[in-house]
Amino acid sequence: MSKVRTFLIEPFDIMLHATEDGVQSLQARFATWLRTLNTPARFVCWQMPATLDTKINDLSRQAKETGDAQRAQLLMEYRRYYEQLDDNAEYQRALCGMAVWSDQNPRALAGGMGSSFDTLVVEGAWPALFEGKYEIRDAPFWHLAPVGRPGGRPLWALLNSYEFAPATWNFFRPLPPLLRLNFPLVLSIDIPKTYERNSAIDALEGIIQAYEVHLSGMRGEDSRSVQRVVDCRKALSEINAGDALHLVQVSVAIAADDLNTLRERVATVVNETRAWFSLRHEVGELLARSLGFFAAKSTKHIGLPDTTWPVVSRELALMLSPLGYRKLSGTTGVLRGEAVGAAYPIFHDSWRDKRATHEIWVGTSGFGKTFANNCYLTREYAENGVPFDLLEPMGHGKHIAEAFGLPWYVMSAKATKLNPQDVMFPTLIEQVSHTTRIYETVLGRPLSGGQRQNLERGLLGEALETLYKGFSRLDRVTPDVTPTCDVVCDVLSGLGEKDTIRHIARDLADEIAGLCTGSGPWAQFLNGMTNVDLTRGGRDWIRPRVFSFHELESDPILQALAYTQVLSAIRRDSLIDEQPRIIAVDEVYRLMRHPSLLDFLIEAAKTFRTRRKKLVCIDQQMSIFLAGKARLVFENSPIRVVFSQRQGMNVFQEDAAFQHLNQQHRDIIAALPRFHFVLDIQDEGLWYARSVATPGELSRFSTT
């Protein structure tokens, strides 16, 4: 016998396939994998009731430990909310596993399963059905009981299938209702044998022939024989169409804390499945042997009397339906939403990795992005102590600033000054390059690509270097001593050794001066000392900050410049430590449409990542993140939160980055109602979720 390999399979959400076409394609994919089986295999699904106790206890502990009264208050608010959720729901935790007796490379096997089941499959040890020592007991009925003090260990009873009724199976019946019973149970689908195609055909043809001989000599009615011939012919045609013939047996292990409940649960399971298959409550030696069906023990070694049933691959595929019933996974991380359909809370910890995992949020206006983002930022701050910087162009940052009692930085064309020469980078080259990018945006043309433009770039750089070199250390250049735009223009106009160069320098200085100094359109905003406190100011930890840009809405260039300077300041502070922080940029397109600022965003995304600063880019259409260089931001963001995308569905169909989505996923994205979204986490899974908010969050952010 080949070596057994065990795999753990993360269940997915069948709600993401819940159309006729969706489940059909799912069945076809499962069947395709099963057709390739030529060795024994076993599928197991463990289901245990779950609570939010761990989460609740963690929040209580944090509330006691934190010295921040505001955080403590928020933590207690979340604790109450989770307690309420726990009281009103019966959560379960589910895990699936597959054992394959094969000599193939386990990674190849896991890869094959992963692509067929469209979910994460890793080689791993199966969880044990029980811990410690158990013994068989015969009174009042046969069961397994813990030896010694139970210590919370339940009693177990085992059932095995022995007959399948001619009934219709699908992905929703009969196994999923079993999983909805809120008690611990484990389901095993044992596939001890898969017939080689020719031997399956021979066996079936033999049965048909025997029945035909019998029927030809019969005078009366024999409907059972006629039906058997029909079934055999149907099985033959399915095998000839590519299916394989498997022998299967279903085993169910049921747990309970006392004998009466155990007896009741056994009866419930037997009755629930009676219309599809019959279950036998195991007794005596069979009870002990049957445990092997929940471990990686071969059917031959288990040594039970053969009560398997022959099924073709397309039928067996439906027995893997528990794979489509994702339940509550871990409670680590923050609440991201509630699964649509199954209604379990989705928690995700995006800080497991030492690097930050950036996110992209897209969705049409009015579908709940901002509200969900405010809730997310609050949860990360309360539960993980992760502060944030919110950059938004609509003015709704006011609500979150008020909720946290934070200073609300409103960038205004009249009142705000942001000096382009403010030091944002640690080295002179980077700082000069950054300031040049800002002037390029102001000028509306790149300072590169032609001979004159290259000269202009060099001259501007020289002027800036001259000014910065006047300071002993770049990091000591505070806003009050930073050179202003008119100083830059003065220095620039005096550069150049040859007449032609002097002429170019003067022209460029005049051009910049015309825009940024005197009565130039951006002079009020750019020429002068920065009057927004973007400095770290010697602090070890920076509180959450909210920057609103709604008063710059009339001027997209000013808005882009303001975004850039604020992000640059955040980036500069990010380099100093590796404390986790979230930088949420709403309407990021306003930044991305300026090519030089897009470069900055890409570079910032990379820097943020290594310094544990999570960048959350929010905009209306996914398409803007996929075009040109913006794709680099997209590819650095493994978490995608997709709200309604009615107007931008083409990218989900055409772009290679979304090939993991099927038609059903696309249909869901196209028709997402308000406050619903698809959470797509690379290499982890896809969730169809609904925004949920605590009463506190609703009262704080309902106006957004």
Partner 1 sequence: MAADFKSHVLLRDEKGVFGIPFKRLLLAGVGGGLTYTLLSLAVPGWSILVAVVTGIAIVVLTGLRGGIPLWNRLVYRLRGTLLLIAVRFPRSPIGRLTEMLELPTDLVRLDGARVFAPPTGDLEIDLREWVTFAHAREEDGLVFVDEPLKEAIHE
Q: Scanning residues 182 to 221, which ones bind partner 1 (CB under 8 A)?
A: 203-204, 207, 210-211, 214
Shortest Å distance, C-beta 677 to partner 1:
23
Extract the tokens encoding 220: 């009366």
Strand partners, 158: 253
Q: The dihedral of CA 547, 550, 551, 554: what is its sign?
A: positive
Exactly one of 5, 42, 399, 437 binds partner 1 (CB under 8 A); which one?
A: 5
**Quick one: DSSP state of residue 352?**
S
Nearer to partner 1, 82 or 293 (CB): 293
124 binding partner 1? (CB under 8 A): yes
Exactly one of 76, 130, 176, 268 binds partner 1 (CB under 8 A); which one?
A: 130
Shortest Å distance, C-beta 142 to partner 1:
7
Shortest Å distance, C-beta 663 to partner 1:
14
Place of tokens 């471990």: 295
**By CB under 8 A, what part of segment 414-453 binds partner 1?**
none
**By CB under 8 A, what part of segment 352-371 binds partner 1?**
353-355
Nearer to partner 1, 197 or 355 (CB): 355
Q: The dihedral of CA 50, 51, 55, 58: what is its sign?
A: negative
100 in helix, strand or coil?
Answer: strand
Exactly one of 6, 268, 364, 535 binds partner 1 (CB under 8 A); which one?
A: 6
Q: Side chain identity at 459, as an amino acid letter?
A: L
Exactly one of 59, 129, 335, 669 binds partner 1 (CB under 8 A); which one?
A: 129
Nearer to partner 1, 28 or 343 (CB): 28
Question: Strand 639-642 to strand 309-312: parallel, antiparallel, or no bridges (unpaired)?
Answer: unpaired
144 binding partner 1? (CB under 8 A): yes
Nearer to partner 1, 309 or 589 (CB): 309
Give the per-residue contact string, 609-648, with partner 1 (x = CB under 8 A; - = no).
-xxx------------------------------------
Exactly one of 309, 408, 471, 589 binds partner 1 (CB under 8 A); which one?
A: 309
Nearer to partner 1, 236 or 432 (CB): 236
Among residues 649, 665, 389, which one has the least CA distance to residue 534? Answer: 389
**By CB under 8 A, what part of segment 22-61 binds partner 1?**
23-24, 26-27
Nearer to partner 1, 101 or 677 (CB): 101
Exactly one of 48, 142, 507, 606 binds partner 1 (CB under 8 A); which one?
A: 142
Among residues 559, 612, 560, 557, which one has the least CA distance to residue 583? Answer: 612
**By CB under 8 A, what part of segment 62-91 binds partner 1?**
none
Nearer to partner 1, 171 or 563 (CB): 171
Shortest Å distance, C-beta 357 to partner 1:
10
Nearer to partner 1, 130 or 408 (CB): 130
Nearer to partner 1, 386 or 460 (CB): 386
**By CB under 8 A, what part of segment 519-558 binds partner 1?**
none
Give the per-residue contact string, 103-122, with partner 1 (x = CB under 8 A; - = no).
---xx------------x-x
Nearer to partner 1, 156 or 643 (CB): 156
**By CB under 8 A, what part of segment 276-305 binds partner 1?**
276, 278, 280-281, 283-289, 291-292, 294-296, 305
Helix (H) or strand (E) holding 272: helix 259-273
Shortest Å distance, C-beta 391 to partner 1:
24
Exactly one of 227, 240, 650, 653 binds partner 1 (CB under 8 A); which one?
A: 227
CA distances, 240 to each of 204, 318, 320 (Å): 12, 20, 23
Rg (CA), the chain: 33
Stretch that binds partner 1, among 275-283, 320-328, 411-419, 437-445 (CB under 8 A): 275-283
Q: Around Cβ 384, how many Cβ atoms within 10 Å?
A: 16
Place of tokens 């306003």: 590
Rounded Cα distance, 348 and 351, in Å: 9
Nearer to partner 1, 16 or 534 (CB): 16
Helix (H) or strand (E) holding 158: strand 155-164
Exactly one of 29, 80, 93, 228 binds partner 1 (CB under 8 A); which one?
A: 228
One-character DSSP codes across 410-460: EEETTT----TTS--SSSHHHHHHHHHHHHHHHHTS-S-SSHHHHHHHHHH
Stretch that binds partner 1, among 396-404, 559-567, 605-613, 618-626 (CB under 8 A): 605-613
Stretch that binds partner 1, among 80-88, 419-427, 478-486, 608-616 (CB under 8 A): 608-616
Nearer to partner 1, 69 or 125 (CB): 125
Nearer to partner 1, 147 or 671 (CB): 147
**By CB under 8 A, what part of segment 450-489 binds partner 1?**
none
Assess whether the previous peptide bond of 174 is cis (omega < 30° from 0): yes
Exactly one of 138, 402, 475, 510 binds partner 1 (CB under 8 A); which one?
A: 138
Rounded Cα distance, 14 and 11, in Å: 9
Assess whether the previous peptide bond of 580 is cis (omega < 30° from 0): no
The long-range contacts involving 567-571, CB below 8 angstroms and separated by at least 24 positions, are: 567/391, 567/591, 567/600, 567/601, 567/604, 568/422, 568/424, 568/425, 568/434, 568/600, 568/604, 569/422, 569/424, 569/534, 569/535, 570/389, 570/613, 571/424, 571/604, 571/607, 571/608
Nearer to partner 1, 247 or 618 (CB): 247
**By CB under 8 A, what part of segment 148-187 binds partner 1?**
160, 162-171
**Quick one: DSSP state of residue 344?**
-
Question: Residue 263 phi/psi, 5° resolution?
Answer: -60, -45
241 binding partner 1? (CB under 8 A): no
Shortest Å distance, C-beta 195 to partner 1:
9
Nearer to partner 1, 217 or 537 (CB): 217
Alpha helices in 517-594 (DSSP H): 523-526, 556-574, 589-592
Place of tokens 């893997």: 320
Question: Residue 281 phi/psi, 5° resolution?
Answer: -75, 120
Exactly one of 315, 359, 440, 551 binds partner 1 (CB under 8 A); which one?
A: 315
Rounded Cα distance, 498 and 205, in Å: 98
